[in-house]
C-alpha cells in the first residue's frame, strides 16, 4: 500500500497506522509505504515513528520521506 502527503496531523497518518494494525493482523505480509516530508509540524514524523515501533509494525510500515 502507498500513502502520499505532507507529514502533518491533518493528513491522518496516525489513524492510518492504527488501521494498519487491523490489516496486518489479518494479512501479515502487508507493507505500507508513507511518502511525505515534514514541513510545518516539527516532531510529527518522530511521533509516527514512535507509534510504528510501539505497535511492532516496523517491518510493515516505512516512512520514505
pLDDT at position 38 is 87
| Nearest-angstrom CA–CA distance, 32 and 42 | 22
Spatial contact of 57 and 18, defined as CB atoms under 8 Å apart:
no
Helices (H), the chain: 13-26, 44-54
Question: What cell was used for 31?
Answer: 507493507
Global pTM?
Answer: 0.89
Share of the chain above pLDDT 90, in %: 89
pLDDT tens figures, 17-36: 999 999 999 999 999 999 99
pLDDT at position 39 is 80
Residue 60 has pLDDT above 90, yes or no: yes
Question: What cell was used for 25?
Answer: 493482523
| Nearest-angstrom CA–CA distance, 12 and 34 | 12
Residue corresponding to grid cell 507509534: 51
Amino acid at each position: 500500500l502507498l500513502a502520499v502527503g505532507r507529514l502533518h496531523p491533518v493528513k491522518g497518518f496516525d489513524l492510518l497506522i492504527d488501521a494498519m494494525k487491523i490489516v496486518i493482523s489479518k494479512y501479515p505480509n502487508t507493507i505500507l509505504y508513507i511518502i511525505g516530508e515534514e514541513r510545518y509540524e516539527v516532531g510529527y514524523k518522530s511521533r509516527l515513528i514512535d507509534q510504528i515501533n510501539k505497535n511492532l509494525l516496523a517491518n510493515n510500515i516505512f516512512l520514505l520521506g
